[in-house]
Amino acid sequence: MKIVTTIAEFRQVRRGYGFESVGFVPTMGYLHEGHLELIRRARTENERVVASIFVNPKQFSPTEDLSRYPRDLDRDFHMLAGENVDLVFVPSNEVMYPPDYQTTVSVSRVTQALEGLRRPTHFDGVTTVVAKLFNIVQPSRAYFGQKDAQQSVVIRQMVRDLNFDLEIVVCPTVRESDGLAMSSRNKYLTEDERKGATVLYKALQSAKSIWDGGTRNSGILRAAMMETLSEELLARVDYISAADPVTLEEWHGEIPRDSGLLLSMAVFFGQTRLIDNLLLE
Ligand code: AMP
């Protein structure tokens, strides 16, 4: 496994892959099974696998956790080598954003709901760094997690709008045995918060069972999630949503029979903000 830190080095190794297919998994590091599942999927579908590790400052607001975001590069490299990754790109901030850097990539509509409402500069940071990484890596396929449902929708839109010549593959959310979605940020949770954090998945399941029973009223589905979340005293709800999975617009009243549903939420445990979602078709 090669590890490179500059764009020139990356391009030199990448040129050696010629016309071989390249699967790309962008990450912010501090890897877990969720990341590794993306890598494994990329491994089965491509001749070469490239991962990147970059904690992108542009997708954090000044009040967020950039400086304390967990990092452990040695452990990450060990895990990536164990999955037969060919090439890891680990750029510095200066490589990605030199002092005269001036360009932002911005997707307008699907960034306005859900996470984008609460984190207004977040998706510009994401699309800017992912566009740059796509131009550097030149992948055949790029792999993202359903865990960040809106991110996948936003990136698909960017790829369509800007004609990136690659396929976006969205992989299922990997969960702990008690249902908590794996996340690098779970490390911040105290023991009690970690126990309480299972309430996100429970809330999604409570709405799912109502949906499976035939209820299509979005208010009832949101109320079911809220009721479950309110049983956990350590949980402070930022938002809960029952939205159209394509437009991400909130459903009001009855959900049309032929439409899908994205249930999603953000919940604080102390300073730690957790997100989770469930896609129902
Ligand atoms: P991050 O390092 O948090 O930026 O995540 C890198 C990629 O891994 C993103 O596409 C995430 O959606 C994906 N990811 C993170 N957690 C999970 C998970 N629990 N299951 C599946 N994919 C995940």
Task: Please indicate, yes or no, whether residues 34 and 127 belong to a single structural domain of this protein.
Answer: yes
CA of residue 109 to ligand 1 center, whole Å = 23
Is 134 within a domain?
yes
Q: Which residues contact 255 (CB under 8 A, 6 or more apart)?
A: 216, 217, 218, 242, 261
Is 215 within a domain?
yes
Task: Please indicate, yes or no, whether residues 21 and 150 belong to a single structural domain of this protein.
Answer: yes
CA of residue 184 to ligand 1 center, whole Å = 9
Instruction: Using the CB atoms, write b or e for 105-124: b if 16+ within 10 Å.
Output: bebeebbebbbbeebebbbb
Is 123 within a domain?
yes
Q: Is 122 a catalytic residue?
A: no
pLDDT, mean of residues 216-230: 98
Task: Please indicate, yes or no, whether residues 253 and 124 belong to a single structural domain of this protein.
Answer: no
Count CB atoms within 10 A of the CB of residue 38: 27
Query: Which atom of ligand 1 lies nearest, measured to the CA of 174?
Result: 20
pLDDT on residue 47: 99
CA of residue 217 to ligand 1 center, whole Å = 30
Q: 49: burial class by Cβ within 10 Å (0-12, 13-18, 19+)?
A: buried
Which of 147, 171, 195 terminates a domain? The answer is 171
CATH number of the domain enclosing 13: 3.40.50.620
Task: Please indicate, yes or no, whether residues 30 and 118 belong to a single structural domain of this protein.
Answer: yes
Beta bridge partners of 53: 27
**Exactly one of 32, 35, 78, 252 is catalytic; which is it?**
35
Strands 261-269 and 272-280: antiparallel
Task: Please indicate, yes or no, whether residues 36 and 84 belong to a single structural domain of this protein.
Answer: yes
What ranges make up the beta strands (E) of the chain? 2-4, 22-27, 48-53, 87-89, 141-145, 167-171, 235-243, 261-269, 272-280
Residues 60-72: pLDDT tens digits? 999 999 999 999 9
Mean pLDDT of the chain: 98
Mutate-to-test residue for ligand 1 from 30, 147, 182, highest number of ligand atoms within 8 A of CB:
147
Task: Please indicate, yes or no, whether residues 121 and 45 belong to a single structural domain of this protein.
Answer: yes
Task: Please indicate, yes or no, whether residues 7 and 86 belong to a single structural domain of this protein.
Answer: yes
Mutate-to-test residue for ligand 1 from 24, 25, 27, highest number of ligand atoms within 8 A of CB:
27
Task: Please indicate, yes or no, whether residues 160 and 189 belong to a single structural domain of this protein.
Answer: no
Task: Please indicate, yes or no, whether residues 31 and 153 belong to a single structural domain of this protein.
Answer: yes
Give φ, ψ of 63 to 5 degrees. -90, 0
Instruction: Domain of residue 19: give its range.
Output: 2-171
Task: Please indicate, yes or no, whether residues 35 and 136 belong to a single structural domain of this protein.
Answer: yes
Q: How confident is the model at residue 231 (pLDDT cuts 50, 70, 90)?
A: very high
Q: How confident is the model at residue 45 (pLDDT cuts 50, 70, 90)?
A: very high
Is 191 within a domain?
yes
CATH number of the domain enclosing 218: 3.30.1300.10
Mutate-to-test residue for ligand 1 from 31, 35, 276, highest number of ligand atoms within 8 A of CB:
35
Is 270 within a domain?
yes
pLDDT on residue 81: 98
| Residue 190, token pair as written in the block | 């105290």
Is 177 within a domain?
no
pLDDT, mean of residues 226-255: 98
pLDDT beyond 90 at 98: yes
Which of 119, 144, 171 terminates a domain? The answer is 171
CA of residue 144 to ligand 1 center, whole Å = 7
Q: How confident is the model at residue 198 (pLDDT cuts 50, 70, 90)?
A: very high
Residues 114-173: pLDDT tens digits? 999 999 999 999 999 999 999 999 999 999 999 999 999 999 999 999 999 999 999 999
Round to whole Å and give the CA distance between 89 and 96.
11
CA of residue 100 to ligand 1 center, whole Å = 30
pLDDT beyond 90 at 10: yes
| Residue 31, token pair as written in the block | 């890897």
pLDDT on residue 281: 87
pLDDT on residue 61: 96
| Virtual torsion, Cα 213, 218, 222, 223, nearest 10 deg | -70
Residue list, ligand 1 pocket, CB within 6 Å? 27-28, 34-35, 37-38, 144-145, 147-148, 171, 173-174, 181-184
Query: Which atom of ligand 1 lies nearest, measured to the CA of 35?
Result: 8
pLDDT on residue 243: 98
pLDDT, mean of residues 260-279: 98
Is 143 within a domain?
yes
Q: Which residues contact 161 (CB under 8 A, 6 or more apart)?
A: 107
The percentage of the chain sitting over the pLDDT mark of 90, rounded to a whole number, equals 100
Is 178 within a domain?
no
Amino acid at 175: R
What crossing angle do the helices spanning 218-230 and 199-212 adopt, rounded to 10°? 150
Count CA atoms closer than 13 A to 152's CA, side-chain side: 21
- Polymer length of the chain: 281
Q: What sign does the CA torsion over 73, 78, 79, 84 have?
A: positive
Name the residue with tokens 């009832």.
220
CA of residue 148 to ligand 1 center, whole Å = 7
Query: Which atom of ligand 1 lies nearest, measured to the CA of 181?
Result: 19
Task: Please indicate, yes or no, whether residues 84 and 201 belong to a single structural domain of this protein.
Answer: no
- Number of structural domains found in the chain: 2
Task: Please indicate, yes or no, whether residues 69 and 139 belong to a single structural domain of this protein.
Answer: yes
Name the residue with tokens 């890598």.
39
Which of 140, 171, 202 terminates a domain? The answer is 171
Query: Which atom of ligand 1 lies nearest, measured to the CA of 28?
Result: 2
